[in-house]
Amino acid sequence: MKRVITYGTFDLLHYGHINLLKRAKEQGDYLIVALSEDEFNEKCKYKKCYFSYNERKQLLEAIRYVDLVIPEISWSQKIEDVKLYHIDVLVMGSDWEGHFDFMNEYCKVVYFLRTVEISTTQIKNDLNLKGG
């Protein structure tokens, strides 16, 4: 069984996220999503989420491409995750291109282009303009 992992916040879930998850699942048989916990988002990623970790986890678990959701609590856990879950492929968005090349020592690293016309930041900005 070929195992794939990806990492992210997945707040305000949209079709760009679905595109990423679908393409990630096509890389193997079993897709694990490491979902950023709220504290990690706030303290390390400097992001404030609309949905809580548990709400985002519930949404991801309902997607047919996702087999398992685990917590992301630090930048440095990727090597441990790859070893623990016997990962064959790490999938990341192209905005992270090059940042995780060191992981090639442990598994194949694939960077996917983002769905350019949609982003959580864009949605938040649009909602802020409409609500203001």
CATH of the domain at 74: 3.40.50.620
Structure tokens that stand for 83 in this block: 């070893």
- Over 60: is that where the pLDDT of 129 sits? no
- Count of domains for the chain: 1
Burial (CB count within 10 angstroms: exposed 0-12, middle 13-18, buried 19+), residue 126: exposed
Active site residues: 45, 47
pLDDT band at 131 (very low <50, low <70, confident <90, very high): very low
pLDDT reported for residue 132: 42
Max CA pair span of the chain: 50
* Residue ranges making up the domain that contains 105: 3-131
Query: Mean of the per-residue pLDDT values for the chain?
Result: 90
List pLDDT tens digits, range 67-119: 999 999 998 999 999 999 999 999 999 889 999 999 999 999 999 988 766 66
CB atoms within 10 A of CB 71: 14
Per-residue burial over 103-124, b if 16 or more Cβ lie within 10 Å, else e, is: beebbebebbeeeeeebbeeee
Structure tokens that stand for 17 in this block: 């996220």
